[in-house]
Amino acid sequence: MSSILTNAGATSALQILRSLDSQMFGAEREVATGLRIEQASDNAAYWSIATTMRSDNGALSAVQDALGLGAAKVETAYEGIAATTDILAAFMAKVVSAQQDGIDKNKIQEELEQLKQQIVSISNAASFAGQNWLRSDMQGQTSEAGAKTSVVSSFNRSEDGTVSVGTIDVDLSKLALFKNGGGGILQKEPDPDLGHGLGTIGGLLGFSTSGYGDVPGPVFDQPFTITKFDVVTVAFSVGTSNDTFVITKNVVDQALGGQIGYGFDGDIESTADWAKVLLQATFLNKAPPDVLFAAQGGAPNIFFRATLPLAAELITVQPPVHTRTLPPEGIDILDIDVTDPDIDFPTITLVLDEMQQKVISAGAYLGSLRSRIAMQEAFGNSLTDSLDRGIGRLVDANMSEASSRLKALQVQQQLATQSLSIANSDARNILSLFQ
C-alpha cells in the first residue's frame, strides 16, 4: 500500500541508517584509538581492571627509577671500597718495608701520609644523591637505628587490594670507613660508655633479697646500657640448689633485639625491658634441668618466682658482681706513624690486615647488593612487560577485525542510504498517477 502521509519504507530505512551510524561511530573510534574498551561504559569490569593495572604499571616504573638510583649509590660506594682496598695493600707494603734495618722511615712516613689523605679523599668523595655510605654520621653508636638506609625495590598489591612498597635494607655499619666518634672500619673502637650510663644497673647494683613465693626483685630506677664490655653476674639459690645468672649485651640482644623499634644496642629503657632481660638470663638461657626460677614483670616492678617443683623453697638472691673488660686502645689508620720509636710493628701489621679483611667484606656485601638490585630490575622489567600484555589482552582492539567491520559497515551504510532514497521516491511515483 502506498500512502502520502506515512512512508513506512523510508521510516524503516532511516532506523537502519541510524543504527549503522552508531555502529560506524564505535568502529571508527576503535580503529582510531586502537582500544576495544576505552570507557567504563564499554565494559565496566574490564575497564576497572585495566585502569588499576595501568596505575600499578606507573608505580612499577617509579620503582624501576628508584632501583636505578639505588644501583648508582651501590656502584659509587663499591668503587670507593675497591679503591680503598688497593690503597690499604700499598699501605701494608709500606709498613712492612719500614721494618727493615737501615730504611729511611721518614720518607716512608711521607708516603703513608699521602696514602692516608687519599683514603680520606675517597671516603669524602664517594657520595651520590646526597648520601655517603663510606662516611656514616652515626656518632660512633652501635645502635642499628640510624645505621641503615634502604632502596625501594618493589610495589606490591595484595589480594584484598591493599598496596605496599618493598625495600632492600643496607647496613651502613658494614660499610662506613669513618664514623664520628670512632668505630669505623679504619678506626679504633668507640668509647664503651656511649649510651645510658650503668648507674645502678636498673636497681640491681647492691640489691639482695630472700623469701618465699613471689620475691620482689630490683626496683627499676633509670635506663642503662649493657655494652659488649660489661658482664653482670648474680649468684642465687632456691632451697639447697645454687646457681648464677649472667647478663651481657648478648643476653640483652636476645631479649630485646628482635622486637620492632629496638636496635641491637644493649639499651634497657623500661621496667618491661628489664623484666624480659632477667627472664632471658634466669629462665630462657637455662637448660630445663637447670632452671630454678624465672623473673616476671610485676606491677609496677619485677619479682622472682621459683619453678613449680621448687615453689615452696626459700629464694635467696646475692648482690651482683659487675666487671668491665675495657676494649683495647685500638689503632686508627690516620694515627699510624712508623717514625715513632715505640711503635709496635706486629700489632700494626695485624690491625692493618684486619682492616683489609673488613674492607674486602664490605666490597663483597656491596657486590651482593648490586647483584640483588640487578635481579630486581630485570624482574621489574619483565613484570612491566607482562602487565602491558595483560592490559592489551583486556582492552586492545583487534585491528584486522575492526578494519574489516568498518568496511562492512561503510558498505551497509551506502546500501541503507540507497534504500532510503528508493523509499522516498514512492511519493514522487504517486504524484505521477494524477498527471
For residues 380, 384, 389, 394, the Cα torsion angle rounded to the nearest 10 degrees is 120
Q: What is the pLDDT of residues 291-306, one digit of tens each?
A: 999 888 866 788 999 9
Q: What is the pLDDT of residues 244-253, one digit of tens each?
A: 999 998 999 9
Question: What are the residues whose beta carbons fall under 8 Å from the beta carbon of 222, sequence distance 6 or more?
Answer: 196, 199, 200, 202
CA-based nearest residue to 58, from 155, 158, 167: 155
* DSSP code string of 53-76: HHHHHHHHHHHHHHHHHHHHHHHH
Question: What are the residues whose beta carbons fall under 8 Å from the beta carbon of 431, sequence distance 6 or more?
Answer: none
Of the given ranges (10-24, 261-275, 291-305, 373-387), which has the lowest mean pLDDT? 10-24
pLDDT at 219: 87
The mean pLDDT of 141-162, rounded to a whole number, is 71
Question: Which pTM value belongs to this model?
Answer: 0.57
Question: What are the residues whose beta carbons fall under 8 Å from the beta carbon of 175, sequence distance 6 or more?
Answer: 77, 81, 133, 134, 136, 185, 362, 365, 366
The mean pLDDT of 230-241, rounded to a whole number, is 93
The mean pLDDT of 320-341, rounded to a whole number, is 81
Q: How confident is the model at residue 140 (pLDDT cuts 50, 70, 90)?
A: very low
Q: What is the grid cell recorded at 45?
A: 569490569
Main-chain phi, psi angles of 17, to 5 degrees: -65, -40
Between 300 and 356, residue with greater pLDDT: 356
Peptide bond into 216 cis (omega under 30): no
Between 408 and 381, residue with greater pLDDT: 381
pLDDT at 357: 92
CATH architecture of 47-192+330-388: Up-down Bundle (1.20)
- Has residue 283 got a pLDDT over 80? yes
Q: How confident is the model at residue 288 (pLDDT cuts 50, 70, 90)?
A: confident
For residues 354, 360, 363, 364, the Cα torsion angle rounded to the nearest 10 degrees is -110
Write the CA distances from 177 to 38, 104, 147, 418, integer angstroms.
Answer: 56, 29, 13, 87
SS3 label, residue 232: strand
Of the given ranges (2-6, 44-48, 51-55), which has the lowest mean pLDDT? 2-6
Task: Please give the single-letter amino acid code of residue 153.
Answer: S
- Has residue 143 got a pLDDT over 60? no
Top-confidence range, 11-25, 124-138, 386-400: 124-138
- Has residue 374 got a pLDDT over 70? yes
pLDDT at 6: 61
The mean pLDDT of 134-157, rounded to a whole number, is 67
pLDDT at 3: 63
Largest CA distance in the chain: 140
Between 307 and 325, residue with greater pLDDT: 307
Provide the 10 A C-beta neighbour count for residue 86.
10
Q: How confident is the model at residue 7 (pLDDT cuts 50, 70, 90)?
A: low
Task: Please give the single-letter amino acid code of residue 83.
Answer: A
pLDDT at 433: 67
Instruction: Please provide the size of the chain in residues.
Output: 435
The mean pLDDT of 331-348, rounded to a whole number, is 87
CA dist 53 and 47 (Å) reads 10
- Has residue 328 got a pLDDT over 60? no
Beta bridge pairs of residue 179: 136
CA-based nearest residue to 208, from 118, 283, 320: 320
The mean pLDDT of 4-14, rounded to a whole number, is 69
Mean pLDDT in the chain?
83
pLDDT at 144: 42
Write the CA distances from 414 to 193, 408, 428, integer angstroms.
Answer: 94, 10, 22
Q: What is the pLDDT of residues 52-92, one digit of tens each?
A: 888 888 888 888 888 999 999 999 999 999 999 999 999 99
Question: For the chain, what are the domain ranges?
Answer: 47-192+330-388, 209-324
Q: What is the pLDDT of residues 94-109, one digit of tens each?
A: 999 999 888 899 999 9
Q: How many helices (H) does the chain have, and how many strands (E)?
A: 7, 16
Q: What is the pLDDT of residues 169-228, one digit of tens each?
A: 888 888 999 887 677 889 887 665 566 777 888 888 889 999 998 899 888 888 888 887
Give, in degrees to the nearest 5, the angle at Cα 96 between 95 and 97: 90
CA dist 121 and 54 (Å) reads 46
The mean pLDDT of 141-169, rounded to a whole number, is 75
SS3 label, residue 97: helix
Q: How confident is the model at residue 141 (pLDDT cuts 50, 70, 90)?
A: very low
Q: How confident is the model at residue 406 (pLDDT cuts 50, 70, 90)?
A: confident
% residues pLDDT > 90 (the chain): 32
pLDDT at 146: 47
Q: How far is CA 363 from the centre of its chain?
A: 19
